Amino acid sequence: MSDSYLSYMAEYAKHLGRIAVWMPGSSMELGAYGEMQDRQWVRLGSIWDLLPETDVVKLASKEPSTSVPISLQIGSAGASKAGLEGGGSGAGAKVNMGLAFSGSHSVFFRASDCETRSLVNVNEIVRCLWALPEGRWLRSYRFVSGVMTAGSFVLIIGGKSGSQVTVSAESNELLDKFAVGNIKGSAGLSVAGDRALDLIGESGPVGMTLIGIKGPWFKRDQPAAKQTQYFDRSDESEAVSPDPWDSKEFLKELLA
């Protein structure tokens, strides 16, 4: 699996306390459940299809909260403005920003207009799932209790050590918006250079919180919610990697 991807996931979890959604912007809903298969979280369905309708009405509530813009520099990705191209400040001129990836798996990630929606009744949900008939909820299952979305985000991954990327914009103002991740769409921006992947001006889910159930399985009346974290690759027990289909797409992009 790609070092670039693993670095992105580990740093995202360390800085933001969540598991990165891959691909960023892809659909992710509160209550989705799945299990780890070869260190990958695979979505299997929705807990709302498992619980009785009376419990769903009571438990499916959620609360929004607005977070500050994300400005996350992972690895050795550094940004600096570099002057004009096109012979001056007249028609056709563009402002450049250089990204220098001195690490072999460095990531430039910015996001803005971020909002986190979380399930309110996590402990009650855990008790209801615990009480399901045998075989309906397995110990290996995890469900999504929180989803962070971004109004727009920028993600560029350096393909190798020494990668150089130039971002060209129509104006300093647009370039400044790119730097903090609050651009809308990629109009007026162009990216050129040695890179593995870039997602610019995208919106949607960028992170999630996974909850499992912890407790002595012979005492079914004492369940407890357990948040799944991304750990170092040496710890296989709770390590979370991308959905298998998405990870293949990532590697395809990385090796292109």
How many structural domains compose the chain? 1
What is the pLDDT at residue 231? 59
Q: What is the DSSP string of the chain?
A: --HHHHHHHHHHHHHHSSEEPSSTTS---TTEEEEEETTEEEEEEEGGGTS-HHHHHHH--EEEEE-PPEEEEETTEEEEEEEEESSSSSTT-EEEEEEEE-STT-EEEEEEEEEEEEES-HHHHHHHHHTSPTTSS-TTEEEEEEEEEEEEEEEEE-SSTTEEEEEEESSHHHHHHHHHT---SSTTEEEEES-SEEEEEEEEEEEEEEEEEES-TT-TT--EEEEE----TT--SS--B--HHHHHHHHHHHH-
What is the pLDDT at residue 107? 83
pLDDT in tens, the chain (256 residues): 567 777 788 778 887 888 988 888 888 999 999 988 877 788 999 999 999 888 887 788 777 665 666 666 666 667 776 666 655 545 556 888 888 887 777 888 888 888 888 898 898 899 899 889 988 999 889 999 999 998 888 888 887 778 888 888 888 888 888 887 788 777 788 888 888 888 888 999 999 999 999 876 555 567 889 888 875 544 445 667 777 667 667 766 666 6
Enclosing domain of residue 187:
3-255
